[in-house]
């Protein structure tokens, strides 16, 4: 069977997929149906942090399949309670709501902010401040706070969009605040926008103004959370906490699951009937979450990311200084980008032909978000292939 031809016949074409049919994975490598091997520096878009075919992870999910897959939220289940406890302890926040995706986590976070503001004064129409070049998801609410018009056109009328400010420009954010502002939402490290970490004084300033005006601060750590930057959550490197944080991707390391986590102050705004989900927080998905936290601790993933992330950053910086095809290097931990002076799509395709998977982001940027178990030897192999694609 020609799988790609069959896919084009039966699947809605909203993706320009690479001409590869992946079949299995092992560690940091993927294999297609023809047996070709690929070094994976995309991790399913920052999802597969533990690498492929981790036996303890697989065994935990197999055991849960044999035990209980689904109950609905009309009942309690043990994996969800255990996973929520681990998330609360890791984030420093108070209450968890499980979702099926990062987009749904963002939607829930926005509802928390709106309901919190509504409870204070239900006579106003409330609005959000979001960042230019941000990305928060594909549903209408998430698109409304996504700072890229190409994703919004045809779906979110301008009157329903957030007010957008310059990322890392505190003065611009403050200038956009009005008495209608109920929340400020941002990625602690912009991912789709081109790998831009937030500046410390920027986040500190926003946290201060939110406290003064009782505006909720929402961090989107769907991509940059779960150890990717060298701390469990990127905001922890800044010494501040959000009121709400949205999580997904590596939270389940392959199982579709997300969550929004809120402080006690604002989580109480939602009462029974305000929000819900059929599949969110089911035993299978939350068993994955709970296992991920256990394996992060067992493997000391955070310390590993600090070490190999610094090594990756050094190697990319050296490459950027050497090659005219690279305009700028940005990144933190194991989340890096090379803004190029040549078309990024051509480089991605050349790398794929040579057995390296890398992906792009905004601003003609090559994005590297490998599994967090990647080694220095894997990084050296990636650098060798990538450099041959950039000269």
Query: Are 33 and 19 within 8 A, CB to CB?
Result: no
Cα 127 from Cα 110, distance rounded (Å): 10
Q: Which residues pair with 37 in a beta bridge?
A: 31
The predicted-structure confidence for 89-101, as pLDDT tens digits, reads as follows 999 999 999 999 9
Cα 189 from Cα 112, distance rounded (Å): 22
Specify the 3-state DSSP secondary structure of 386: helix
Edge-first strand listing for the sheet containing 95-99: 95-99, 258-262, 244-247, 216-220, 181-187, 127-131, 163-165
Instruction: Provide the residue count of the chain.
Output: 391
Residue with tokens 């004084």: 201
Residue with tokens 């940059």: 224
Give the model's pLDDT for residue 124: 82
pTM reported for the whole predicted model: 0.95
Q: What is the arithmetic mean of pLDDT over 375-381?
A: 98
Give the model's pLDDT for residue 157: 67
| Residue bearing the bigger pLDDT, 162 or 247 | 247
Give the model's pLDDT for residue 155: 74
DSSP designation for 199: P
Q: Which residues pair with 196 in a beta bridge?
A: 190
Cα 69 from Cα 279, distance rounded (Å): 10
Q: Which residues of 17-50 are buried (b: 16+ CB within 10 A; e: fewer)?
A: eeebeeeebebbbbeeeeeeebbbbbbbebbbbb
Strands 95-99 and 258-262: antiparallel
Q: What is the arithmetic mean of pLDDT over 302-314?
A: 98
Specify the 3-state DSSP secondary structure of 28: coil
DSSP per residue over 242-271, as a string?
-SEEEE-GGGTTTS--EEEEE-HHHHTT--
Query: Are 374 and 301 within 8 A, CB to CB?
Result: no
| Residue bearing the bigger pLDDT, 147 or 49 | 49
Give the model's pLDDT for residue 1: 61
Specify the 3-state DSSP secondary structure of 311: helix
DSSP designation for 300: T
Q: Domains in the chain, start-ordered, CATH in brackets?
A: 3-54+300-390 (3.90.1150.10), 68-299 (3.40.640.10)
Pair of tokens at residue 207: 């946290």
Q: Where are the alpha helices (DSSP H) in the chain?
A: 3-10, 43-46, 55-67, 78-91, 102-120, 140-144, 149-152, 170-176, 200-213, 264-267, 283-299, 301-322, 344-353, 376-390
Residue with tokens 């984030």: 91
Nearest to 24 by CA among 15, 8, 37: 37
The predicted-structure confidence for 100-138, as pLDDT tens digits, reads as follows 999 999 999 999 999 999 999 988 889 999 999 999 998
Give the model's pLDDT for residue 318: 97
For residue 150, pLDDT beyond 90: no
Query: Are 73 and 276 within 8 A, CB to CB?
Result: yes
Percentage of the chain beyond pLDDT 70 is 98
Average pLDDT value over all residues in the chain = 95
Give the model's pLDDT for residue 269: 94
Pair of tokens at residue 204: 């500190």
């Amino acid at each position: 069977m020609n799988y790609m031809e069959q896919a084009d016949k039966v699947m809605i074409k909203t993706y320009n997929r690479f001409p590869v049919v992946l079949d299995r994975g092992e560690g940091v490598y993927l294999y297609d149906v023809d047996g070709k091997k690929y070094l994976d520096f995309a991790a399913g878009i920052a999802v597969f942090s533990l690498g492929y075919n981790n036996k303890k992870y697989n065994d935990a999910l197999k055991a849960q399949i044999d035990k209980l897959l689904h109950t609905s939220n009309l009942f309690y289940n043990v994996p969800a309670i255990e996973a929520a406890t681990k998330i609360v302890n890791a984030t420093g926040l108070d209450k968890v709501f499980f979702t099926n995706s990062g987009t749904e986590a963002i939607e829930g976070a926005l509802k928390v902010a709106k309901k919190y503001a509504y409870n204070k004064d239900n006579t106003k129409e409330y609005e959000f401040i979001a960042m230019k070049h941000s990305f928060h998801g594909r549903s209408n609410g998430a698109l409304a706070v996504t700072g890229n018009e190409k994703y919004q056109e045809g779906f979110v009328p301008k009157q329903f969009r957030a007010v957008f400010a310059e990322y890392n420009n505190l003065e611009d954010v403050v200038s956009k605040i009005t008495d209608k502002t109920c929340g400020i939402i941002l990625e602690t490290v912009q991912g789709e926008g081109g790998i831009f970490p937030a500046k410390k004084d920027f986040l500190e300033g926003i946290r201060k103004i939110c406290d003064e005006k009782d505006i909720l601060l929402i961090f989107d750590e769907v991509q940059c959370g779960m150890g990717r930057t060298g701390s469990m959550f990127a905001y922890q490197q800044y010494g501040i906490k959000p009121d709400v944080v949205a999580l997904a991707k590596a939270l389940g390391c392959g199982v579709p699951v997300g969550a929004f986590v809120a402080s006690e102050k604002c989580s109480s705004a939602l009462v029974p009937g305000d929000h819900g989900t059929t599949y969110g927080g089911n035993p299978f998905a939350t068993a994955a979450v709970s296992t991920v936290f256990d394996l992060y601790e067992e493997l000391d993933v955070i310390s590993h990311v600090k070490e190999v992330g610094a090594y990756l950053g050094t190697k990319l910086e050296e490459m950027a200084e050497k090659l005219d095809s690279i305009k700028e290097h940005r990144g933190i931990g194991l989340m890096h980008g090379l803004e190029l002076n040549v078309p990024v799509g051509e480089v991605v395709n050349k790398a794929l032909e040579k057995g390296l998977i890398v992906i792009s982001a905004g601003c003609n940027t090559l994005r590297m978000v490998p599994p967090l178990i990647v080694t220095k030897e894997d990084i050296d192999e990636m650098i060798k292939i990538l450099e041959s694609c950039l000269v």
